[in-house]
Chains A and B, each alone.
Chain A
Amino acid sequence: MTIELTGLDPVIHAPKRLAAMAILANAQSADFGFLRAQLDIADSDLSKQMATLEKAGYVTVRKSGHGRGGVTTYRITKAGKAAFQRHVATLRAITEGA
């Protein structure tokens, strides 16, 4: 059997980024604190993962306020949503075709 793997996106396939994209695909937006709590990772690690997604054009970031009261909010882009849906569809096709 041949399995079509071209829909798997290496930017999204890493588990932490997959989870972040899944959250953002189901939310209008999510704050840094929410993502950190859900992914259960350190601030520096989350910043790195989100920077990778931002660089790919899959998320946008907005910062409001400064210091302790400052909030960083992420939002998925249209390209990010399409890439995430394609990635999940490919995962389903692989697992259901097994």
Chain B
Amino acid sequence: MESYREALAVAERAGAAPYIDYPATPKWYPAAAGAWFAALILACHGASERPAVFIPLLVALIGAEFAFIAWYRRRWQTWPSLRHAPKEIASAYRRYFLVVVPAFAAGIALYAFVGPFVAAAFAFVVVTAGLAAYERLYRDAADATRRRLA
């Protein structure tokens, strides 16, 4: 019976590995992501007036995002599924989306009713601060998962 319990523990510890064994996110990442979102908003705004300039910029921004994801995936050597996260990590995911959805809505509202420059500044500040906070939240969740499974 003990060997079956040990097998379950092995499965649970190994199953958590893709979520809790991850490379440190670069320090520049939150600010870079904030700048990326701000640039995306301004490029979307500019694309209607000067498409020759801003559409290539939009393509470059999207390409940069894909390049970053590919680079980070190579460093991580895995990519966790969103569906089976340990409860501590799942809680971090939920809190992330609870903030992202209203922040996204607020960004769209600012873009529509105030203007693209204010929306871009808002996106830079919120994304930079939000991602920095999420990095700490995720790190604490990963630590809690490691302690539970130790």
Interface residues of chain A, those whose CB is within 8 Å of chain B, are: 13, 15, 18-23, 25-31, 33-34, 37-39, 71, 88, 91-92, 94-95, 98
Contact = CB atoms under 8 A, between A and B. Distances in A.
B65 interface: no
Given A30-B78, A33-B77, A91 B14 contact: no
Among B18, B21, B79, B85, the one with the most A-chain Cβ atoms within 10 Å of its Cβ is B18
Secondary structure dominating the interface of B: helix
B80 A19 contact: no
B24 to A, nearest CB: 16
Interface of B: 1, 4-5, 7-8, 10-19, 21, 74, 76-81, 84-85
B10 A18 contact: yes
Greatest chain B CB density within 10 A among A21, A28, A98 is at A28
B4 A34 contact: no
A97 B73 CA distance: 41
A26 B77 contact: no
Contacts of B13: 19, 22
Contact of B81 (A28, A31, A91, A92): A28
Contacts of B12: 22
Contact of B15 (A15, A25, A29, A91): A25
Contacts of B16: 26
B80 A26 contact: yes
A34 B10 contact: no
Contact of B18 (A13, A23, A39, A94): A23
A92 B78 contact: no
A19 B84 contact: no
A14 to B, nearest CB: 10
Nearest to A74: B78
Contact of B84 (A15, A26, A30, A34): A26
